[in-house]
Structure 1
Amino acid sequence: MELAMRKALITGGTGFVAKHLSENLINKGYQVIGTTRTCCPDLYFMDNYELRTINYGDVNDWINLFNETVPDEIYHLAGQSSVRLSWDNKVDTFNANLINTINMLEAIKESEIRHKARILITGSSEEYGHVNEGEAISESTILQPLNPYGVSKAALCMLMKQYVKTYGLHIRYARPFNHIGPGQGLGFVTSDFAKQIVDIEKEKQPPYIKVGNLESKRDFTDVRDIVEAYHILVQCGIDGEVYNVCTGRAMSMQYLLDFFVQHCKHPEPIKVIRDELKMRPSDYPIYYGDNGKINELGWHPKIGLEQSLSDILDYWRSRA
């Protein structure tokens, strides 16, 4: 007898990570349902994919969706993902990252899939905040977030543990470090660098590039590796546990900039201009994670940094 196709529901279905996760799961034979608060974009005409519009603030809307679609797995990616925007939109950040998640979890608790669905909730390395410089950050590191976005995600992690302990929901928690990859929007360092390089190549801007702090170092993981980690966590992770998703090494912003400048197809040398608007209110010089816990489940990053940067540059060239 033919086995039924596994079904996954991805919240924030039109986002950067969700697009890559959808492709990953469809390639594994899944039927995928994405959720969005707005209309369906044209680029989402894929086999075994359906995009649903939902009111994230309406528990009954969630319950109806879960009972109708009956997903085996839920990947909760929806939320406000920009540290910079969280400083200007604190209330919106908490509504998107915390309150909407409460609505979703309450709906799962009251739905037909309560005891069936495996759930992944995504947090952020920004939850760790202030750490001892130069030390790899493990899941046991004390949370001391330095920005509203990090605070919202730290609260989300505590909320997750309560729903596992009190209601028996099958939730695993991913704490990814910096995402990069083709398709990421502006407002994130590699996309901002690559977009400016392409604009210089197309002579849409003079040969200079605006940058923030180039000395800071971060742990960058390709989004295609990250979504594979998410799938592994849903299959093999332990309910209520937190897992770092990272490479375990830090690279400087200067390194990223040098790569893009070296690969710029423009005859004139590029001038680098420091832009105070790109500086964060709180920053720290070096930040990287310990990925030993998720390594034990069989996940290791496969896409090198240079390949990621090259693919990002190609993506922006194709859009130009």
Structure 2
Amino acid sequence: MPTKNQDPPTRRTIRRALITGVRGFTGEYVRDELLQAGYEVHGTLTRADLERQPPAEHEHVLDITSVHECRRVIGTIKPTHIVHLAAISFVAHDIALDMYRVNVLGALNVLQACIDVGCHPGKVLIASSANVYGNAAGVIDESAPPAPVNHYAASKLAMEHLARTWSDKLPIVITRPFNYTGRGQSGRFLVPKIVSHFTQRRPFVELGNLDVARDFSDVRMVAKAYRALLESFAVGETVNVCSERPRTLREVIDIVREVTGHDPEIRTNRAFVRDNEVKVLVGSAAKLRRLAPFVTPIDFGETIRWMCGAGIDVERPLTLEPSP
């Protein structure tokens, strides 16, 4: 019992994070980052995820396109922080309407559910994409006018615009990650496809345009950036997450060749070249450095060495866009 002149003991504030799409490539790294920081981490998964593995503790099945289900999950968890990652991120997805239902409606349902159930998180981080910039030239900062060139980017931009209509009710931060990669990323994506062919000593690898250039980051850095932004004072901001270092596919191949010591034939497959291909995409991380000064890029060569230590499944077709 405290004495008359003592304050009563205070309970440690529980930081309870909800990650939508927790079993996705990015979700697993963000979950680990937040767990290490002492958060109680809850995550959502789809019913399709259950076919591969039953839900673990603090995992919740959610159809993100249903506002009723979003209310149920958010009302049950009452998160203090939300990281919204659930999305269709594969540019060549066959049904464009799915992208808008999941990427736009899904995000809006999460925000609406917070209001409906009286949940007031300290921060809501929503992952968009640098693909909203389209074929913008030079080093792109957040003031560059969006110019999406495919349904994936258009759906992300629509999501951004509509999410901002909740900015007077919820503390929202929108991230625009440029390309990033790491262990566990699907072989549909560029770098893991290249890594898998080299580590498996394949005789050749088929790629698209070798001269496109991307700003590649390490998924571990992205997870740290998301945590830092959750804990920052940033509200109502749109933030690039990037390395500021563009690399062509030829450069990527050279790095993987050096790390693995394998030299397969590189074939150009026209089926992997899109007419609306974004030729060069490189971002400015000035705002990220200001808001999260302790988050620094990981050398891309180190990322490749890390990835070459693990087997990666190869799937097709190939895409260059990041996997949220």
Tell me the TM-score normalised to structure 2 length: 0.87
Residue aligning to 1:52: 60
1:222 aligns with 2:201: no
Query: Gaps spanning 5+ residues in structure 2: where?
Result: 1-9, 315-324
Which residue identity lines up with residue 12 of structure 1 in the other structure?
G
Residue aligning to 2:250: 254
Comparing both chains, which one has the higher relative contact order based on Cα–Cα distances under 8 Å and sequence gaps of 6 or more?
Answer: 2
Residue aligning to 2:231: 235
Distance 2:312 2:236 in 1: 42
Q: State percent identity of aligned pairs.
A: 26
**Equivalent runs, 1:1-320 vs 2, <5 Å:** 1-38=10-47, 39-40=49-50, 42=53, 50-85=58-93, 88-113=94-119, 115-132=120-137, 135-165=138-168, 168-200=169-201, 205=202, 207-264=203-260, 269-297=263-291, 298-316=293-311
Query: Gaps spanning 5+ residues in structure 1: where?
Result: none
Q: Report the CA distance between 1:58 and its aligned residue.
A: 2.0
Residue aligned with 1:79, SS: coil
Q: Tell which deviates more after alignment, 34-43 or 278-287.
A: 34-43
The ranges of structure 1 where at least 4 consecutive aligned residues each deviate by more than 4 angstroms after the TM superposition are: 39-45
Residue aligned with 1:120, SS: strand
Q: Tell which deviates more after alignment, 232-241 or 24-33.
A: 232-241
Deviation readout 1:251-289 (Å, 9 max, x if unpaired):
1111111122233355xx421111122212312332100
The count of residues paired between Structure 1 and Structure 2 equals 302
Tell me the TM-score normalised to structure 1 length: 0.89
Q: Report the CA distance between 1:163 and its aligned residue.
A: 1.1
Q: Is the 8 A contact 2:135 2:279 kept in 1?
A: no
Q: Is the 8 A contact 1:119 1:234 kept in 2?
A: yes
Q: Report the CA distance between 1:117 and its aligned residue.
A: 4.0
Residue aligned with 1:84, SS: coil
Change over 3 Å in CA distance of 1:223–1:145 after alignment to 2: same
Q: Is the 8 A contact 1:194 1:313 kept in 2?
A: yes
Change over 3 Å in CA distance of 1:136–1:302 after alignment to 2: closer
Residue aligned with 1:314, SS: coil
Distance 2:54 2:109 in 1: 28
Higher helix proportion:
1
